[in-house]
Structure 1
Amino acid sequence: MQNVVERELEMQLVLSPERSIPVPARLTYRTDDPYAVHVTFHIGSEAPVNWTFARELIVEGVFRPCGHGDVRVWPTKVAGRSVLCMALSSPDGDALLEAPSSPVAAWLERTLRLVPPGTEFDQLGMDDGLSRLLAPAAGDEMWLPDRSPRARRPGENGVPGGEETPDAGA
């Protein structure tokens, strides 16, 4: 069963040190994708802008700067309030967003209660999937060679352990 934890909030898109604009956003965490968080930005275009990155980045980024490359996250204070900064980079451009820390931390806590760190792999059902994939299906015995001990005796068909005798008809 898939569980989803969502949070709507308003982030600030930083245009310059003196200017930012509000951007409605939705944070989403799904147990069927347990390592990732999804952020959807509604920027007034025809389609929203979606970003997906490791949940671990936000978990660590709440406390200290982390990430490199396309996604970096760090805590800071702006005008006396705690915010979580997200620097996003893509071939289309770069964006610096500020999210209020408290709602992000509360949402993150809900995701961590649902799937504690270190248990993400269990959510994927890989062991069950592999067992089903590798289990013999009806009719497989027609295609698999008979490897039972009775099928071949030493000395027969090149099996070591006995003298091979030439075929009488040879």
Structure 2
Amino acid sequence: MATYVSDLKGLSAPLSADLHYDMADPYAIRLSIGVPMERPVDWVFARELLAEGLHRPTGSGDVVVMPWHHPHPDSLRVVLRNRSGTALVEMAASEVATFLRRTFVLVPDGAESHHVDLDRAISELTGTSG
């Protein structure tokens, strides 16, 4: 998926951006942004945030998603913030909608808890095994 990333100071560059979904983490999606042949920067945030952002501005803090109709009517903007700065990612809303439809076929909305391995999650949080 092609996208434009800006640092909100007017500097922008075309970069590749890939959305990923893993049924082992059914509530989340991963947005990987980068230049070919280099290690991408990954952002992980709620699948529901991305879905809602197709229709109305949503999110606060590190990730904000909003439909955007200027200059392209089929745009979606994702604002990413961390201590290093802020980036603005613009993607084709139709491509994001297609991606999301595929994720909801894999794990329907409301069925995410059936795909979570609670024992593994607790082990990862506590640093224990078994």
The residue aligned with 2:69 is 77
Distance apart, 1:15 and its partner CA: 4.7
What fraction of aligned residue pairs are identical, expressed as a percent? Answer: 38
- How does the TM-score come out when normalised to structure 2? 0.83
Q: Which runs of 5+ in 1 are unaligned?
A: 1-8, 131-170
Retained in 1: the 8 A contact 2:8–2:88? no
- How does the TM-score come out when normalised to structure 1? 0.64
AA of the residue aligned to 1:112: F
Q: Distance in 2 between matches of 1:15 and 1:92?
A: 11
What secondary structure, in the 3-state scheme, does the structure 1 residue paired with 2:21 have?
strand
Q: Which runs of 5+ in 2 are unaligned?
A: 121-130
AA of the residue aligned to 1:40: S
Question: What whole-Å deviation, never above 9, does each CA across 1:55-91 have from its counterpart, x for those lacking one?
Answer: 1100100110000000000001122431110000011
Relative distance call for 1:63 and 1:17 in structure 2 (3 A) is farther
Larger Rg: 1
The residue aligned with 1:39 is 31
Retained in 1: the 8 A contact 2:7–2:85? no
What secondary structure, in the 3-state scheme, does the structure 2 residue paired with 1:30 have?
coil
What secondary structure, in the 3-state scheme, does the structure 2 residue paired with 1:106 have?
helix
Alignment of 1:55-94 (within 5 A): 55-94=47-86
AA of the residue aligned to 1:64: R
Distance apart, 1:20 and its partner CA: 3.0
The residue aligned with 1:12 is 4
Flag the structure with more relative contact order, 1 or 2, with Cα contacts below 8 A and sequence separation at least 6: 2
Retained in 1: the 8 A contact 2:23–2:107? yes
